[in-house]
Amino acid sequence: MRFALLPTFCYFTAVCAQSSVVDSYVATESPIAKAGLLANVGPSGAKSSGAKAGIVIASPSTTNPNYLFTWTRDSALVFKVVADQFTTGQDSSLRTHIDQYFTAQQALQQVSNPVEQYQLEASQNPNSTLMEQLLRDHGEDRADGPALRATALITYANWLIANSNTTFVTNSLWPVIKLDLDYVSTFWNQSTFDLWEEVDSSSFFTTAVQHRALREGAILASKIGQSSVVSGYTTQAGSILCFLQSYWNPSVGYITANTGGGRSGKDANTALASIHTFDPTAGCDAVTFQPCSDKALSSLKVYVDSFRSIYGINSGIASNAAVATGRYPEDVYFNGNPWYLATAAVAEQLYDALIVWKQQGSITITSTSLAFFKQFSSSITAGTYASSMSTYTSLISGIQTFADGFLAINAKYTPSNGGLSEQFDKNSGSPLSAVDLTWSYASALTVFAARSGISPASWGAEGLVVPSGTCSAQTGQTVTITFNVVATTQFGENIFLTGSLDALTDWSTSNPIPLSAANYPTWSVTVTLPANTNFEYKYIRIFNGAVTWESDPNNSNTTPGTGTLVINDTWR
C-alpha cells in the first residue's frame, strides 16, 4: 500500500504525522532502492540479464519507452552513489561493483565513435556493443558524462590513496580519469544537449559538473605527482566558473537552466546541479551555487512554484508547502508529469542546506533569498540569525518540515512494492514511463543520506573566486579561419571539411563544408568560428557518394580571441 500523508498513529500535529511518514518511508524504501539499483547492474543484477560486468542499464523497460541502454552520465551518477556508500563505510561489499564499473568504463571510453571518434557520450547496448546510430540524431552527445565519470572515479581514487593504494590509482585509474578531464578541459565551451537530451545549448548542470571535475581532478593530480596538468585544469576551471555566473538571472531571481530551446529556464537541472556539486566546506557560497546560497535558494523557490498550478495532484496545497515537481513546467514528454528524482532533488537541496546551517551555527538571509525564507516567516527580514536565536530554531524546523514534505509526496505515490518508475501521473499519481529507473533509485539513496546528515567529501569549492576580467569563451565573438589542405584527387572526387562545432557541421558527412580547388592541389575554405574556442576537425573525400575520412587522430586547434587564423594541412 502507499504511504498515507497523515497516518493514524501520530495524534499531535500534521508536522508530527508527516515526519513519521517520512521516517517510515526512508526505513522501508532504503533497502528497496538499493536492491533496485543493483538489480540494474551487470553481470548479476536481477533485471539486467545479459549486461556485462559493471554495465548499468537505465531501466529494464523495453517498450514505451525503451530504456534498455547504458549512458555514461546515468551510469556515473549511479556509481557516484555506490562509491560514496563504499568509501564512507556504509557498505564494504560494493567494492567489486566499483572495480567492475571502472573496467567497463575503461573499455567504453575507448570505443571509436563514428560521430567524433573520441569521447562523445556513446549510447551502448547493455552488452557493450556499440549501437550503429548517429548520436547527434538522437540528442545523446552530452558533455556532462565525462565530467561525472571522472568525479565518480576520483571518489574511489581518493579512498584508494587514503588506504595505501596510490600505485593502482596512478597506473590504472588516472589514465582513464585524465582522458575525461582532458575532454572537459578541451570541449567545455561547446554547446551540448541538455540534461534531458532535448535542447542543444549551454546547460547549467553540465557547466557546474564540468567545473567540479576539473577542480577535483587538479587536486588528485597533485596528490599523485601529475603536476604537469594542474595549471591547465585550474585555468580552465576558472574560465568555467566565470561562465557559470552567466546562468543567474537577477531580474527574475532564478538560474536559467538552458541558454536555448525557447523555454523559461525553470528546470530541475538547477537543483540537481546544486546537490551534485555540494561541498560542505564551501558553506553557502553563491559563486558555486551551493545548496544554501541565496541564489540557489531563490532559484529553488521559483522552480517549485512553477509546478503548483499545472499538476492536478498539487491542487489545494498551500503556497508554502511541498508539491510534486517535474523536469520543467513546459514538459510534454508523456504529457508532462512529476518525476521521483526531481521531487527528491528539491528535498535533497534543502537537507544539504540544513547540514551547512547546523554546521556553521547561523543562517544568513539576503535580499536575494528573502522570498524563499518568507515562506516560513512572513515578517522575517534580511540579516544573520545565530543558533542562539529563536528565529534560527524556527527556520530550521520549518525548512526541515518543508523538505520532508517533498519526500512525503514521493512516499504517497510510491507503489506498495517500493518500485520507482521515472514519473508519476500528474492527476492520479500512478507510476508512469520507464519502470525501475536506476536514476530514481539512486536519487532516493542520496536524499535519504542527506536527510540523515551525511555529507560528501570536499571537492575544492571552498574559497573559490571568479577570475578577474572577461570569461574566455561563450562570449558570442567570432573570428575568421581559413583551412588549407594539400590533397591530390581523381576526377570527380572532392574534399570537404567537418568538425566538432556547429559551424563545422558537427561531424556531418551529409552536409560537410566543401573546399575550393582553385589552387589545386591545395584545397581551401574560409569559415567563421566562435572566438577562444577549442575544436577538432577532419577532411573527408567524397567520390560517387562514397566517403573517405582522413586517418586518425583528429586534427585540433584553438581559435584566437580576435582577428584571423590560417591553418595549413596535408591530407593524411
Q: Among 16-25, 316-325, 474-483, 509-518, which range has the highest average pLDDT? A: 316-325
pLDDT for the residue numbered 471: 60
The larger pLDDT score, comparing residue 7 to residue 78, is at 78
pLDDT mean over 539-567: 88
The larger pLDDT score, comparing residue 246 to residue 410, is at 410
pLDDT mean over 383-404: 97
pLDDT mean over 101-130: 57
pLDDT mean over 253-270: 91
Model confidence over 62-75: pLDDT tens digits? 999 999 988 889 99
Note every long-range contact of 47-53, with CB atoms under 8 Å and residues 24 or more positions apart, other chains counting.
47/436, 48/126, 50/126, 50/127, 51/126, 51/127, 52/104, 52/126, 52/127, 52/128, 53/100, 53/103, 53/104
- List beta partners, residue 339: 423
The answer, yes or no, to whether residue 28 has pLDDT greater than 50, is yes
Model confidence over 334-352: pLDDT tens digits? 999 999 999 999 999 999 9
Please give the share of the chain, as a percent, with pLDDT higher than 70: 90
The question of whether 197 is a catalytic residue gets the answer yes
SS (H, E, C) 254-269: EECCECCCCCCCCCHH
**Whole-number Cα distances in Å, 387 to 55, 95, 302:** 46, 40, 27
- CA-based angle 266:267:270, to the nearest 5? 105
Please give the share of the chain, as a percent, with pLDDT higher than 90: 74
- Residue at grid coordinates 533496485: 36
- Give the active site residue among 194, 285, 305, 352: 194
Alpha-carbon torsion 221, 558, 561, 211, what sign?
negative
pTM metric for this prediction: 0.80
pLDDT for the residue numbered 270: 98
Q: How confident is the model at residue 142 (pLDDT cuts 50, 70, 90)?
A: low
- List beta partners, residue 364: 384
pLDDT for the residue numbered 121: 38
pLDDT mean over 135-147: 60
Cis preceding linkage at 31, omega within 30:
no
Contact 203, 258 (CB under 8 A): yes
Instruction: Please name the residues in contact with 32: beta carbons below 8 A apart, sequence gap of 6 or more.
Output: 417, 418, 419
**548: part of which helix (H) or strand (E)?**
strand 546-549
- Give the active site residue among 197, 198, 462, 493: 197
- For all residues of the chain together, what is the average pLDDT? 89
Model confidence over 5-26: pLDDT tens digits? 433 344 456 677 888 999 999 9
The answer, yes or no, to whether residue 324 has pLDDT greater than 80, is yes
pLDDT for the residue numbered 460: 97
Task: Give φ, ψ of 222 to 5 degrees.
Answer: -65, -40
